[in-house]
Structure 1
Amino acid sequence: MFDGAYQRDGVMPAHRPTYGGLNLLDHADGACPRFGSCHLRLRPAVLGRATFCLGDSHLSPEVVGTADAFEAVLAGLLAGVAASGECLGRAGTGVAALAWTLLDPPTTPGAVGRALDDYVEAQVHGTLDLAYDVEELVVDPSFAGTPTGVTLESIAERFGFPLRWHAGFVLAVDQVDAEFRGPAIPVLAARVHREFARAGGPVDAALIGRAAASVVVEPHRWADRGPIADTLQHLKQLWHVLVRFGTPYGT
């Protein structure tokens, strides 16, 4: 994408871009929640040193742009609607939902987007400094009162930006879909829930995180499931199911 600029002599791995997403619809769960339940919202000044592409960069997209030359990305969003055959309306999903906001911004701020496959990827060039470039840290409520939550709160306090809790996603273990990411996922969900749920609670981000940590530090515990890489992949897919079908906390 960058004409080999990051593969030239003297360029260190730390010089490479930081990857994220452009939250066009201001979704509470971020621009691309498939990559995690918590995210950093960056300050507007970062836009000046960011590049963007429609879809994930590992697919070698042809639709790219910058904040000052964004027309191709907008056109790509609208072209995607036509190509997908989706109805351009609030009930649309994927690129249709993204494109809709260009014509009529949503009236309900803070809604979740559940963007698993369709998003505008952002690449931030240059150093990303937590103390200067971050506007806020947005955290899943399942981490409240946990060691992870304490760590996130201490990071926000250390670097001087606010921490905000979004609505999160929860799903009853018997409601884990067997088709969206395959029949192995409900089986894994039942095991994760049985071994790691607190007081029979629902499937949520913290539960999946506890299981993932166990896979890494206790691989023998999961040897019956085959290669560890496969189990980690299935846990990621369980997160995708949670994002797609979960409901906000307290509903």
Structure 2
Amino acid sequence: MNFHPDRLVGGEPILRRMARDGAYLSQFVTGTSNGGLTAHPGGERWRWESRMFGAAYDAAPAQQRPVYGALNHLRRSTGAAPRFGSAHFRLVPEVLARTTFCYPDSSALPTAFGVADRCDLVRRALAEERPALDGHVEAHIHGRVSLARDVAALVLDPSHLGTPVAEAAAALPCPVEWHSGFRLPVEVLDENPEFRGPEIAALGRRLAEDGLLDPRMIGDAARSGRHDPQELKKVWHYLAHFGAPER
């Protein structure tokens, strides 16, 4: 389950909120997302879930709705769906028994679904040529995701070493690990203005320090409140696409 570990939820750092809740909560509860913000009755996310799950959650309390992740069939150290953030929770195998999958993801209105022991979605994903940020097999975990019981590790980007993110992560009831890190030289932004637009590339250059862009810098910009969150999301797409470690 990829996410940005340095964002705020209702003015509170997200990892501290998670420590207080003891669980990973859905967008319907938190009102935050690293994708679209449509988790409300009648919104797109609500309609997608109604379609996928046969209206099973239409009248359910927000706390009972599934949470989203992805199947890391490529064994990426940065998680299965880095489009949604630089950190990820790696779950224990027991969670598979209450997980459903689809490909492509729910925003594309998929017709191919599976469960752990009846699933050909990896074959489908590998057979298609999709951009690196879009080729994940989406996972839906049904029931509470307890940080103490269901999480094998929280995996963070090293740009957060020695920061409040690392301090907050240490207070969670799960192990903390570190991947090798997202890093992007600003020259790559200049060379690829068409990826998310020249204005987004220029914003990424302004956020960079000493010629490099990393997740901490984007997170600092997000918490400052001085930038459009949708534009920062696109800056993150630059970093996730062009600045990911090899594994």
Structure 1 residue 187, shift from structure 2 partner: 1.5
Deviation sequence 1:41-82 (CA, Å, 0-9, x none): 0000000000000121122100101012113x245335x43x
Matched, 1:138 2:155: yes
Structure 1 unmatched ranges of 5 or more: 85-92, 95-114, 216-220, 223-230
More helix by share: 1
* Candidates 196, 220, 243, aligned match of 2:240: 243
1:99 matched to which residue of 2? Answer: none
Structure 1 residue 153, shift from structure 2 partner: 2.1
Structure 1 residue 247, shift from structure 2 partner: 5.5
Percent identity over paired residues:
45
- Is the Cα contact below 8 Å between 2:125 and 2:137 reproduced in 1? no
Q: How does 1:37-116 map to 2 (within 5 A)?
A: 37-71=86-120, 73-77=121-125, 80-81=127-128, 84=129, 94=131, 115-116=132-133
Structure 1 residue 38, shift from structure 2 partner: 0.3
* Candidates 168, 187, 190, aligned match of 1:151: 168
Matched, 1:26 2:39: no
Deviation sequence 1:190-230 (CA, Å, 0-9, x none): 3223xxx4xx3621000000001112xxxxx45xxxxxxxx
- Is the Cα contact below 8 Å between 2:66 and 2:142 reproduced in 1? yes
2:213 matched to which residue of 1? Answer: 203
- Is the Cα contact below 8 Å between 2:125 and 2:135 reproduced in 1? no
Structure 2 unmatched ranges of 5 or more: 1-51
Matched, 1:120 2:137: yes
- Is the Cα contact below 8 Å between 2:156 and 2:178 reproduced in 1? yes
Larger Rg, first or second structure (1 or 2): 1
Distance 1:209 1:148 in 2: 10
1:180 matched to which residue of 2? Answer: 195
- Is the Cα contact below 8 Å between 2:125 and 2:136 reproduced in 1? no
Q: 1:150 to 1:33 in 2, by over 3 A?
A: same
- Is the Cα contact below 8 Å between 1:63 and 1:76 reproduced in 2? no
Three-state SS of the structure 1 residue aligned to 2:107 is helix
Distance 2:179 2:196 in 1: 25
More strand by share: 2
Structure 1 residue 165, shift from structure 2 partner: 0.5
* Candidates 180, 184, 204, aligned match of 1:171: 184
**Normalising to structure 1: TM-score of the pair?**
0.72
* Candidates 51, 56, 65, aligned match of 1:5: 56
- Find runs of 4+ consecutive structure 1 residues off by over 3 angstroms: none
The aligned length equals 193
- Is the Cα contact below 8 Å between 2:100 and 2:114 reproduced in 1? yes
Distance 2:219 2:198 in 1: 21
1:190 matched to which residue of 2? Answer: 205
